[in-house]
Amino acid sequence: MGHHESLPLGHTHFAEPEQVYHSAKFGMWVFLATEVHLFGALFCTFAVYRWRYFEDFQQFALSLNWRLGGLNTIVLLTSSYFMVRAVDAAQKGLNKKVNSFCNLTLLCALTFLVVKFFEYRAKLILHEPPIFPHSHIFYGLYFTMTGIHGLHVLLGMGAIWWLKMRAKREEFSVTYYTPVEVVGLYWHLVDVVWIYLFPLLYLLGGLA
Amino acid sequence: MSAHAATADGKQLNYLNCEKGLWSWIMSIDHKRIGLMYLASILSFFVVGGVFALLVRAELFSHGKTLYGPDDYNVFFTLHGVIMIFLFIVPGIPATLGNFLLPLMIGAKDVIFPRLNRFTYWLYLFGAAIAFCAIFMRLDTGWTFYAPYSIQNRWAVVTATAAAFFLGFASILTGLNFLVTIHNMRAPGMTWGRLPLFVWTLYASAILQIVATPVIGITLLLLLLENTMGIGIFNPAAGGDPVLFEHLFWFYSHPVVYIMILPAMGVVSEIIPVFSKKPIFGYKALVYASVGIAAVSFLVWGHHMFVAGMSNLSRYIFSFLTFFVAVPTAVKVFNWVSTMYKGSISWDTPMLYAMAFVFLFLIAGTTGVHLATLGTDAHYHDTYFVVAHFHYTIQGGAVIGLFAGLHFWFPKMFGRMYNEKVAKFAWLFLFIGFNGTFIPQFILGMEGMPRRYYDYPIEFEPLHRISSIFAFINAAGYAMVLGNLFYAVFKGKKCEENPFHSLSLEWTTASPPIHDNFVQIPRVTTWTYGYGAEHAAEGEAVH
Ligand SMILES: [Cu+2]
């Protein structure tokens, strides 16, 4: 039974590595399906109120800074590119490269959050009186949707940080790179959600 | 480890005694232990929820004030609902019997993500702890948290929604784990066409858990944000729409009924062929019916809002689709009855429960058709008729299914047998008590008794009294069941490995199973339901 025997009872190997790899990826896709439904309900809510308060939504969309939103779109797309490179490097077992591409992805994610911070500040602190709370539903939706998305960015950053640490310990190899792929999938979802949020919130009213 | 490894004192080594101490349970990633921990947890919550139900029934015993005031009443029926739904019956069969049996039934050593499984259990318990905080904060919105009552900056609602969010997340993760396990962990030869029906129903309910639960998650999060920050989405004063909350809420909460009921149907599909000594009738039809119910269940949520402001066209569509649910459900009932037809039926306790399930669920289903009908629903809506209908579904269906499964797989789980006489006696109490509680409620509903009311006109008193008395008989039945089973866990008679002569894969291994489930991953060569005189007499599996 080889090295299995030395493991305590609770940690016997129950599945083949191949099985675990495919299952982890499948599991992540299933999880992404739940995320799509989570945001899907928000998008539905948005659609309902945009339909109902059409003029207001047009007008308030103009108050958002589409340049900053556009910048953030580019930043996130770039981060997804770096993430792909990290996955590619992991598949080749190049731990150093995984580490540096994780760093670049993290840098993009951080940039995104900093830009978002300035956008929020403009609405929450600099604006007199503050636009939120007790404001129009448009802002309720704007802050909820971008806030929950931002939370996903933060969680993704945590996961990428974890990858980076593992890459530093040289844990990935040609035969083992499952975590990088799985986190990569998650990170792309975070990106995709923003790609829908940006035009819905910033652009539907036209460009200011 | 070999199969017949033994402890120093010569005892057979199994999942229960292979590791000792509280810590070995807390840290366990064994699906069987996690299943048992879930079982202990949900049954405890079941008792708590039951006590609240009895408190409610006791107050309703007499016209006017009987025991306590209306504010307490609101709190008690809310807690009954919240505890029973979110803590007991949503995890219900999948988290307990599903966890224990799924890997055994498909010939695997564990679920695919055992550590995630452990995390899920503790997440569930964490959510339950938060939910209990809401108890002390006097949550009184009803389990449905309808806006605008629930958005008046009420911290009890914030707490309860936070709890439901964690509990929902645990439910999603269980579904995810099961789905991937069923896809990737089946033993060689366990093809989709040979999959036990219980596993198929776990599969269907896993899909519901994965697809529907995120919607309630975000809805409750919106409610939480509404209460803490005032985002306005459900607040009519800010232009928000409380009916939107109802739509989002029922988009989850209708399918969740099938998360509860589908696995119970699976349990019954496993039990009936064993005790009829006949192959299951219409295996494929049962599989398609499960998947069909899961699919249709997403399209019918509107039937909860027929009188809440909805266009006529939507009403027609939702009503039609709701009728449609009756089709796959009836297919199932037809197949169960056909399985029993000309079988040689033995009246063991699991079979009694399975038959009670079919009978009670039939009533639940047919009264559901009354509620799906637009004309009659206008009259029945928000009356005791609805209360009785969903108790027939949830208690008569899901809870009876759970207890059917517990009595059936008890020897598998513990290698011991409960007292059969007490079990049958308790079943009788339960069956009579249950029907006696809710048949009067159907009549009350037809006569116009609204649900959630603290008081009623004196004319309704006799029926309320009958309902309350039988509720206590029902509770006595549950007390007997739980006492009997709990006693048998420790003191029950040791029994043979496969006392009911089932042919299913989970019975081919030791009872209680060894830590790794199987000495060797089995090779499946036949269908699970090949019951017939010659095999059943030998009581041997034909894998
Ligand atoms: Cu419904």
Nearest CA in chain A to B181: A23
Q: Where are the alpha helices (DSSP H) in chain A?
A: 17-52, 54-62, 66-91, 95-121, 137-168, 178-198
Whether A150 maps to a domain, the answer reads: yes
Non-local CB neighbours of B49 within 8 Å, separated by 6+ positions: B79, B80, B83, B84, B87, B88
Residue B493, classified by CB atoms within 10 Å of its CB into exposed (0-12), middle (13-18) or buried (19+), is: exposed
Judge whether A63 lies within some domain.
yes
Query: Using the beta-carbon criterion (under 8 Å), do B112 and A19 form an inter-chain contact?
Result: yes
Distance in angstroms (rounded) separating the CA atoms of residues B311 and B320: 14
Q: Does A74 touch chain B (CB under 8 A)?
A: no
Residue-wise DSSP of B19-67? S-SHHHHHT---HHHHHHHHHHHHHHHHHHHHHHHHHHHHHTTSSS-SS
Residue A28's nearest CA partner among B307, B164, B173 is B173
3-state secondary structure of B220: helix
Q: Are B470 and B57 in contact (CB under 8 A)?
A: no
- Answer yes or no: is A8 within a domain: no
**pLDDT by 10s per residue, chain B, length 543:** 344 445 555 567 889 888 888 999 999 999 999 999 999 999 999 999 999 999 999 999 999 999 999 999 999 999 999 999 999 999 999 999 999 999 999 999 999 999 999 999 999 999 999 999 988 899 999 999 998 889 886 789 999 999 999 999 999 999 999 999 999 999 999 999 999 999 999 999 999 999 999 999 999 999 999 988 888 899 898 889 999 999 999 999 999 999 999 999 999 999 999 999 999 999 999 999 999 999 999 999 999 999 988 899 999 999 999 999 999 999 999 999 999 999 999 999 999 999 999 999 999 999 999 999 999 999 999 999 999 999 999 999 999 999 999 999 999 999 999 999 999 999 999 999 999 999 999 999 999 999 999 999 999 999 999 999 999 999 999 999 999 999 999 999 999 989 999 999 999 999 899 999 998 889 998 888 888 754 444 444 433
Residues in the 5 Å CB sphere of ion ligand 1 = B 254
A5 falls within a domain: no
Q: Which residue of A has its CA nearest to B248?
A: A41
Does residue B6 sit in helix, strand or coil? Answer: strand
Helix axis angle, B31-59 relative to B114-136, nearest 10°? 20
- Whole-angstrom distance, CA of residue B29 vs CA of residue B265: 28
- Residue from B174, B184, B245 to probe the interface with A (highest A Cβ count within 10 Å): B184
Query: Hey, are the CB atoms on B248 and A45 less than 8 Å from each other?
Result: yes
SS3 at position A21: helix
Q: Does A10 contact chain B (CB < 8 Å)? A: yes
User: How high is the ipTM of this complex?
Assistant: 0.89
The radius of gyration computed from the CA coordinates of chain A, to the nearest angstrom, equals 21
**The domain that contains A156 carries what CATH number?**
1.20.120.80
Count of domains forming chain A: 1
Residue with token string 């056909």: B338
In a domain, A1, yes or no: no
Q: What is the pLDDT of residues A28-86, one digit of tens each?
A: 999 999 999 999 999 999 999 999 999 989 888 888 899 999 999 999 999 999 999 99
Domain that holds residue A146: 17-206
Superfamily of domain B34-542: Cytochrome c oxidase-like, subunit I domain (1.20.210.10)
Q: How many Å lie between the alpha carbon of A91 and the closest alpha carbon of chain B?
A: 23
Q: In chain B, what residues touch A27 (CB-CB under 8 Å)?
A: 112-113, 176-177, 180
Best B14, B173, B233, B310 member to test A by mutation, with max A CBs in 10 Å, is: B233
Contacts of B20 in chain A (CB under 8 A): none
What is the domain partition of chain B in residue ranges?
34-542
pLDDT in tens, A144-161: 999 999 999 999 999 999
Rg of chain B in Å (alpha carbons): 23
How far off is chain B from A157, nearest CA to CA, in Å? 21
In a domain, A87, yes or no: yes
What the block records as the tokens of B25 is 């349970």
Residues linked to residue B417 through DSSP beta bridges, in sequence order? B493
